[in-house]
Structure 1
Amino acid sequence: MTLTVKAVDAAKPREKAYKLADAHGLYLYVSPKGAKSWRANYTEAGKQKTRTYGLYPGVSLAEARKAHSAGREEAPAPKLAPTFEAVVRDWLKAKLPTLSNGKHQIQVANTLERYALPFLGKLPINAIPRSELVKVVRAAQAGGKIETGHRVASRISAVFDFAQDTGLIEQHGAAGLTRVLIARKTKKPMASIPPEEAGVLMRAIDGYDDSVTRLGLLLLAHTFVRVGELRGMLWGELKEGGAVWVVPETRMKMRMPHVVPLSRQAQSILAKLREMSGDGALVLDSPIHPGHPLSENTFLFALYRLGYRGRMTAHGFRALASTVLNERSGFPHDVIERQLAHKETDAVRAAYNRAEYLTQRRELMQWWSDWLEAAQRSDEGPRPASA
């Protein structure tokens, strides 16, 4: 339907402004005070703008149509959106530096190179239907590659989010792509011994023949940090005369610096490692490849040699500490969770807790080392901390 002069004349003001549509995007705008103007909306640089042709009846319906037609012919051609591949390249430039692990960086890039770009790469980012995305992620999961499909879906969604955040598109259909996939298998928890066996384990570690690996395992036990955080430990990260270790956000899973108060036992272990490292920057400098940290599997294979294959992993020290601290120490759950560097869902609470709990965390870490030491001597830990 198009407007007629009779309909334009009959348009009366209302409590709120309203529009009467004509053809090709032209419309009559009627203000609450009765003013009538000819207008049309258009998009420029991703933003909606409005072109006005004049007030009625000064500008008639026929004149407004003529002006609108001329304006449409003179309007610049809409800028084409970049291809999916171009956006992927820009996203990778922004994303990869945030991943501290070089292997992970390669995996992220290769996932898109192999499973997404061959099918979506040449398409404009704003012209890819969700049905095409579903087809791509399902193909990635074919042949039983359950985890691969989920990774592809996650990274495609992240690319579209990036395009939206940078103003290339207004909205997209890549959200929730994992809903069309076979669900991930539930991961088995990392193997960890029960608390009653901690003393036997600590004595076994204390007798391990390789000095750096032995001290590294003992330090891992007393700090219960993640293996990657410990492997990259630098002497320069020690603060307060060696009483505190600050792990930088680049090595933390949650991308937040982590404060680790060091017990007397942990500081003693570090003193022995300092004698071995000389002038090196790394705390756990590899004896085989000086200047490089111990390899990822060094601790795991050491536990294998000690007879703990399938029963204890390097990550298992975190589970052991969590169990003992929650069940026996008497420290508040929030304090324990903060020291484990688990994610805090409330950012304000997280910032507050980091400061509030530091004194309690010093006491917690000393309690834990005392418990390990007592277990190593007699398989019995100290009494719970007083409330």
Structure 2
Amino acid sequence: MARRTLPLTDTEIKKAKPKEKGYKLFDGDGLFLWINTAGGKLWRLKYTSPVSQKEKTYSIGKYPEITLAAARAERERLRQLIKSGIDPSQEKQENKKVRIINENERSDTFGKIALDFLAHKTKISDDYKDMQLRRLERHIFPSLKNVPIKSIARADIIELIRLIEANGTLEMASRVFSLCNEVFRYSAANDKIPYNILQDIDKKSVFKQPDEKHYPVILDEKEIKILLDVIEDYQGDISTKYALRLLPHLASRPGNIRVAEWKEIDFENSEWIIPGEKMKIKVKFKGTNEVQPHIVPLSKQSMKIIKELKKLTGDGPYLFPSALHKDRPMSDNTLSSAMKRLGYKDKMNPHSFRAMFSTILHGKIDEHGYHSDIIERQLAHKERNRVKAAYNHAEYLPQRKKMMQWWSDYLDGVKK
């Protein structure tokens, strides 16, 4: 068929029928309609690439979705690109890449990436993971869950944290900010965003800081004796009673005691090995990203209590399971509520046993002979010296074993 020089009409296009072979109907200036053997009518533009100087064909779209007038308008737009030295096919590929990137960015919402982040953290306990998920759902997801993470600005996070501050929960505000920071760091590491926008924010400068906590504490030996006797007579849930009995001997954070698991107890060496991911202060082994576990030496008295408890709760994962579900740990306010029921509201709380341990041990160094560094290591306080922190994970363990036995013996002496 000879090339047509006259412009096409809608009537010609509608009348065009399929043949044994596909054929073209030309409209001029490179625009033609390809009629395939199935009867499909496709607009195309034949042109010479200004980049490669090679002849190319550009697909415009299908008729009648793309009308004759629309096809001609697109032809003129493409010819202007060609005159400007732009290859329409290359531009189309670039636009496709940009569109895919934009679609991915729209799907990479804060909520999606935050959930991916939690799923990626396989070395934390399910209990801790559930707690982080609750924080996301309560404090962050209501405003940011479906927002593309790339479009979130520092100001958005700061506003969110200050809303939590306004409710008077400064400690929770700090924790939520830290969680956001972890999600943004994870997002940057996986090329979802160019960099972590929160990495340069100084929490102490931008947000309110909670007042330093001073837990109420009993230090008088007569009062300590009464407290220990009251705990022995506790009539509530048996799991709670054993947790209360262990609290004075361990000097560990109540949050760690609450979620203690049987697999963490080394009966042979009388040690409780808390995974580093569960610790408030995380210390990495020197030269690695692996977090050190915290070893709590268990005195003879502590082991006696734990062995008794094993007979009661050893069929589940937790030493101190929930009263309702043995596969879940007791709730985070169980021990506090128990102390109040014992009549110690505003006098002692679960954290106070650590203050008791620290104050008495530091006050009796001349008597027991254990250095302050050993006491602080037992309390798992933050080590200011990073080099020292990288090595003292087990450095003081023999001394701490003896010190914790001295402490339990001291408590027994007070009771008698």
| 1:140-179 equivalent positions in 2, closer than 5 A | 153-171=177-195, 173-174=197-198, 175-176=200-201, 178=203
Change (3 A) 1:213 1:117: closer
Q: Is residue 208 from structure 1 mapped to residue 231 from structure 2 by the alignment?
A: no
Match of 1:54 in 2: none
TM-score, scaled to structure 2: 0.62
Answer whether contact 1:92 1:109 (CA < 8 A) is retained: no
RMSD: 3.7
Q: Is residue 218 from structure 1 mapped to residue 245 from structure 2 by the alignment?
A: yes
Q: Which of 355, 358, 371 does residue 319 from structure 1 map onto?
A: 355
Match of 1:8 in 2: none
Q: Is residue 113 from structure 1 mapped to residue 141 from structure 2 by the alignment?
A: yes
Answer whether contact 2:273 2:293 (CA < 8 A) is retained: yes
Match of 2:209 in 1: 184
Answer whether contact 2:112 2:145 (CA < 8 A) is retained: no
Partner amino acid, structure 2, of 1:368: W
Report the Cα offset of residue 287 of structure 1: 6.1
5+ residue gaps, structure 2: 1-81, 283-291
Match of 1:341 in 2: 380
Deviations 1:9-44 (A, max 9, x none): xxxxxxxxxxxxxxxxxxxxxxxxxxxxxxxxxxxx
SS of 1:230's equivalent?
A: helix
Answer whether contact 1:282 1:292 (CA < 8 A) is retained: yes
Report the Cα offset of residue 205 of structure 1: 1.8
Instruction: Work out the CA distance in 1 between the residues paired with 2:172 and 2:399.
Output: 42
Report the Cα offset of residue 115 of structure 1: 3.2
Instruction: Work out the CA distance in 1 between the residues paired with 2:248 and 2:225.
Output: 12
Instruction: Work out the CA distance in 2 between the residues paired with 1:287 and 1:159.
Output: 34
State which structure, 1 or 2, has the greater radius of gyration over its C-alpha atoms.
2
Deviations 1:89-141 (A, max 9, x none): 123321364464323321124322123347xx15x71x555555555555665
**Aligned residue-pair number:** 307
Partner amino acid, structure 2, of 1:321: F
Identical-pair percentage:
31
Report the Cα offset of residue 319 of structure 1: 1.1
Answer whether contact 1:246 1:259 (CA < 8 A) is retained: yes
Partner amino acid, structure 2, of 1:317: F
Report the Cα offset of residue 280 of structure 1: 4.7
Answer whether contact 2:110 2:145 (CA < 8 A) is retained: no
Q: Is residue 272 from structure 1 mapped to residue 308 from structure 2 by the alignment?
A: yes
| 1:1-387 equivalent positions in 2, closer than 5 A | 74=90, 76-77=94-95, 78=98, 79-80=101-102, 82-83=105-106, 86-95=109-118, 97=121, 98=124, 100-101=127-128, 102-117=130-145, 121-122=147-148, 125=150, 130=154, 134=158, 137-138=161-162, 153-171=177-195, 173-174=197-198, 175-176=200-201, 178=203, 183-196=208-221, 197-210=223-236, 212-241=239-268, 243-255=270-282, 256-277=292-313, 279-285=315-321, 289-329=325-365, 330-345=369-384, 348-377=387-416
Change (3 A) 1:176 1:363: same
Match of 1:7 in 2: none
Answer whether contact 2:244 2:335 (CA < 8 A) is retained: yes
Report the Cα offset of residue 295 of structure 1: 4.0
Instruction: Work out the CA distance in 2 between the residues paired with 1:307 and 1:247.
Output: 31
Report the Cα offset of residue 253 of structure 1: 2.5
Instruction: Work out the CA distance in 2 between the residues paired with 1:193 and 1:153.
Output: 34
Instruction: Work out the CA distance in 2 between the residues paired with 1:205 and 1:317.
Output: 13
Partner amino acid, structure 2, of 1:92: L
Report the Cα offset of residue 238 of structure 1: 2.5
Instruction: Work out the CA distance in 2 between the residues paired with 1:71 and 1:202.
Output: 84
